[in-house]
Amino acid sequence: MTDGPDINGELEAPERALGERLEAGRPLPAAGFRGALGRHLAARDPGYGPRPARLRLIASAYLGASAVLLALGALQATGAL
C-alpha cells in the first residue's frame, strides 16, 4: 500500500500521539492468511490475456462513428438539417 500524505507537520502533539497509537494497534491478518489469499486471487485472475485482433481498427471505427454522430448533432443544432 502507498503511504498517505505527510501531515504530521500540521498536527499538535496529542493528535500525533493518537495517530501513532492507532497505527500501532491496527489489526493485520496473519501471514498465512495473506499468502493464501494472494494465491487464491492469482488463481482466479489469470490476467487480461491477449488483445483482440484488429484492436486499432475497432477503436478507429468507434472514433469515426462518434465523429459522424457529433457532426450530425452540430448540424442539427445549427439548423442546417
Q: Is the pLDDT of residue 3 over 70?
A: no
Q: Parse the chain into domains and list their residue ranges.
A: 8-44, 53-81
Q: How far apart are CA 2 and CA 4, in angstroms?
A: 6
pLDDT band of 11, cuts 50, 70, 90:
confident
Q: Is the pLDDT of residue 1 over 80?
A: no
Q: Is the pLDDT of residue 2 over 90?
A: no
Per-residue pLDDT tens digits for 12-65: 888 888 888 888 888 888 999 999 999 998 888 877 778 889 999 999 999 999
Give just the sign of the alpha carbon dihedral 32, 33, 37, 38: negative
Query: For position 7, what pLDDT does the model report?
Result: 61
